[in-house]
C-alpha cells in the first residue's frame, strides 16, 4: 500500500510543493477517485475517507490531544487521540496506526475497528468543511507519549466526567462529538462498565 512520496503529486499552484492526495468515496465508502487535501475541504467539501482513533490508558481514561496552533485546519482545539486521512490505497487501519505514531510518538498496544460514521461539519473559524466517511478505531496506549510539536500542542488523559467538564469550557473540533458518540459502543466494550464510557 502506498505510504511514500508515490502518493503525492506536484502542486499545480507553484510546481514545487508536494500535494497530499485524499481518497474520494461515495455514500457507501466505495473509492471513486482522489483529490488534493485542501481542495477536498473547500466548501461545500468533497466526501473523502478519514479515520479517528480513541486510545485509553490502563485506568480507562481517554487520551485527548489539543491540535498544534500552526495547523491549517482547526488549530489549537481539543479533539480525539488522533485523526486523519489514509493515503489513496492505504488501509484505514494502517493509516490510523501510522498517524498515531507520527503525531504522538507511540504505537497502540491494541487497536480495533469500531465502525464508521458519515458526517458533514463546516468549521466556522476556517470556513473549511469536513465532509467525511470516517473509520473509527479504539485501542490502548501503554508507552510514554512523545508528541510531535508540529502536530500536537498538548495532551490529556480524561475520565468521562473530566471530559464533560473540559468540553463545557474548552473549544473542541467540529467533528469531535459525532465521532465520540459513534465510537461509544466500542469504547464501552474495550474499557468495561466501571470506566463509565
Q: Which residues are catalytic?
A: 83, 132
As a whole number of angstroms, the distance between CA 66 and CA 196 comes to 23
Give the number of other CB atoms < 10 A from CB of residue 14. Answer: 7
Cβ(122)–Cβ(129) under 8 Å? yes
As a whole number of angstroms, the distance between CA 113 and CA 93 comes to 8
As a whole number of angstroms, the distance between CA 95 and CA 185 comes to 22
Amino acid at each position: 500500500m502506498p505510504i511514500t512520496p508515490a502518493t503525492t503529486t506536484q502542486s499545480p499552484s507553484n510546481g514545487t510543493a508536494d500535494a497530499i492526495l485524499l481518497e474520494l468515496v461515495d455514500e457507501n465508502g466505495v473509492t471513486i477517485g482522489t483529490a488534493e487535501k485542501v481542495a477536498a475541504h473547500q466548501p461545500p467539501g468533497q466526501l473523502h475517507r478519514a479515520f479517528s482513533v480513541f486510545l485509553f490508558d490502563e485506568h480507562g481514561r481517554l487520551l485527548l490531544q489539543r491540535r498544534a496552533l500552526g495547523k491549517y485546519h482547526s488549530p489549537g482545539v481539543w479533539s480525539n487521540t488522533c485523526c486523519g486521512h489514509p493515503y489513496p490505497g492505504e488501509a484505514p487501519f494502517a493509516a490510523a496506526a501510522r498517524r498515531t505514531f507520527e503525531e504522538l510518538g507511540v504505537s497502540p498496544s491494541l487497536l480495533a475497528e469500531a465502525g464508521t460514521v458519515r458526517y458533514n461539519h463546516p468549521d466556522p473559524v476556517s470556513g473549511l468543511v469536513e465532509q467525511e466517511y470516517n473509520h473509527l478505531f479504539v485501542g490502548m496506549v501503554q508507552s510514554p507519549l512523545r508528541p510531535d510539536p508540529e502536530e500536537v500542542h498538548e495532551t490529556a488523559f480524561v475520565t468521562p466526567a473530566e471530559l464533560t467538564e473540559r468540553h463545557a469550557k474548552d473549544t473542541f473540533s467540529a467533528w469531535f462529538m459525532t465521532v465520540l458518540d459513534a465510537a461509544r459502543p466500542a469504547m464501552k466494550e474495550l474499557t468495561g462498565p466501571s470506566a463509565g464510557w
